[in-house]
């Protein structure tokens, strides 16, 4: 451990949780309008954030260097749609070189991936998570708010494979009565491939998606539906705090996962911080407000690391475990603003 790290120490929050993961939203805008995330016409003020207020690559790198000194080793770039951010491979190349960062991933809707997969790989990106809510073109289009084209995303997946990304996570947000049949189609499609579909319970992130508990399909119910056709066995987590519960097919045809933030909250092992495109720190996906970091970033890595350590030590978030008692009127930040 360097002297600089030793002077700041590896902070733990009020529930004893260390800081391991950082998700960075590199852009707050998107070319889709998925109704569960950024519904058409209901997009709040945050999307008006101008390019001038986004952190530039120097600022993002300084932030990552400071976070890495506090124990962050896993980094995920997200958005909005991260592939809309100009020059993203340059940023990836810089972040891949930061000491301590050993896992660099990207979450994308895949619409622009076909043209960028190779450059991302060459820049040093380790892993891609592709969001894909349906394999029926009409359902897919509806779930992207009428803007997405399934063929583009499948071409993006092909390009990612060709560029050398091996096991790609396929994120599917499941909504009861909307795409649960598509979840089964995704299982069938990806069985026998190295790719791993991950079924995410529809979450009450933000306030503009009109979330209702009736639209949540609990993972246990979906798991039973899948297992009735393709028997499953639980796999041991790869690491403590892994977000998805993993299952393998009994016949060895691959793996799937479930992210059950509504039915089985996992706050106790939440080691994740989020940085918005305009430089605010969020210590929970359901936070009411962020902590502005831009001025501290300007002071440099040392000052920023010390400030971040203090903020992390004050963290008490466990929203998903408290969801039942949370006020429905509570203001929450939108998912596209801080990234998934």
Helix %, strand %, coil % of the chain (to 5) = 35, 15, 45
Q: Which residue is nearest to ligand SAM (CB)?
A: 340
Q: Which of residues 24-43 bind ligand SF4 (CB under 6 A)?
A: 30, 32-34, 37-38
Q: How far is CA 304 from the centre of its chain?
A: 24
Q: Which of 270, 277, 297, 305 binds ligand SF4 (CB under 6 A)?
A: 270
197: β partners: 170
- What residues contact residue 51 under an 8 Å CB cut-off, 6+ apart? none
Tell me how far, at minimum, the Cβ of 32 lies from ligand SAM, in Å. Answer: 7
Determine, following the binding rule CB under 6 A, whether residue 249 of this chain makes contact with ligand SAM.
no
Torsion sign over Cα 137, 142, 146, 150: negative
Q: Is 173 in the site for ligand SAM (CB under 6 A)?
A: yes
Tell whether residue 36 is a contact of ligand SAM (CB under 6 A).
yes
Beta bridge partners of 198: 171, 257
Which member of 205, 226, 281, 293 binds ligand SAM (CB under 6 A)? 205
Determine, following the binding rule CB under 6 A, whether residue 219 of this chain makes contact with ligand SAM. Answer: no
Q: Using CB distances below 5 to 8 A depending on partner kind, what does residue 267 bind out of ligand SF4, ligand SAM, none?
A: ligand SF4
Only one residue has tokens 């796999």, namely: 235
Q: CA-CA distance, 262 to 324, in Å (whole number)?
A: 10
CA–CA distance, 252 with 246 (Å, rounded to integer): 13
Q: Residue holding tokens 């091996």? A: 166
Counting contacts by CB under 6 A, is residue 91 touching ligand SF4?
A: no
Indicate which single residue of 26, 27, 37, 304 sits in contact with ligand SAM (rule: CB under 6 A). Answer: 37
Q: How far is CA 31 from CA 38, 83, 130, in A?
A: 10, 10, 15
Residue 79 lies near ligand SF4 (rule: CB under 6 A): yes
Per CB under 6 A, 317 contacts ligand SF4: yes
Under 8 Å between Cβ of 255 and 235: yes
Nearer to ligand SAM, 60 or 203 (CB): 203
Euclidean distance between CA atoms 83 and 199, whole angstroms: 23
Closest approach of ligand SAM to the CB of residue 334, in Å: 9
**Binding-site ranges for ligand SAM (CB under 6 A):** 30, 36-37, 78-79, 81, 107-109, 131, 171, 173, 200, 202-203, 205, 209, 335-336, 339-340
**Binding-site ranges for ligand SF4 (CB under 6 A):** 30, 32-34, 37-38, 79-81, 109, 131, 261, 266-267, 270, 272, 284-286, 317-320, 336
């Amino acid at each position: 451990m360097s002297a600089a790290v030793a002077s700041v120490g590896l902070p733990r929050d009020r529930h004893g949780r260390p800081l391991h993961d950082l998700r960075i939203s590199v852009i707050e805008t998107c070319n889709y309008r998925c109704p569960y995330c950024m519904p058409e016409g209901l997009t709040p003020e945050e999307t008006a954030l101008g390019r001038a207020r986004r952190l530039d690559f120097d600022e993002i790198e300084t932030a990552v260097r400071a976070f890495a000194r506090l124990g962050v080793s896993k980094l995920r770039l997200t958005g909005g749609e991260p592939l809309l951010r100009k020059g993203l491979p340059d940023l990836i190349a810089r972040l891949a070189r930061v000491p301590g960062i050993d896992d660099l991933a990207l979450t994308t809707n895949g619409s622009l991936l076909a043209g960028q997969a190779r450059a991302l790989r060459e820049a040093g990106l380790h892993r891609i998570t592709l969001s894909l809510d349906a394999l029926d073109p009409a359902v897919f289009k509806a779930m992207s708010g009428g803007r997405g084209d399934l063929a583009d995303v499948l071409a993006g997946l092909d390009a990612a494979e060709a560029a050398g990304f091996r096991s790609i996570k396929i994120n599917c947000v499941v909504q009861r009565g909307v795409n649960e049949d598509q979840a089964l189609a995704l299982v069938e499609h990806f069985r026998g491939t190295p790719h791993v579909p991950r079924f995410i319970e529809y979450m009450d992130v933000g306030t503009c998606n009109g979330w209702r508990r009736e639209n949540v399909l609990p993972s246990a119910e979906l798991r039973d539906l899948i297992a009735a056709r393709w028997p499953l066995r639980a796999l041991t987590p790869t690491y403590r705090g892994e977000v998805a519960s993993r299952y393998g097919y009994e016949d060895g045809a691959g793996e799937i996962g479930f992210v059950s933030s509504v039915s089985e909250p996992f706050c106790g092992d939440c080691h994740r911080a989020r940085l918005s495109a305009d430089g605010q720190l969020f210590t929970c996906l359901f936070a009411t407000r962020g902590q502005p970091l831009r001025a501290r970033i300007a002071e440099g890595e040392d000052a920023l690391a010390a400030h971040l350590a203090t903020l992390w030590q004050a963290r008490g978030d466990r929203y998903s475990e408290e969801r039942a008692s949370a006020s429905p009127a509570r203001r929450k930040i939108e998912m596209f603003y801080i990234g998934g």
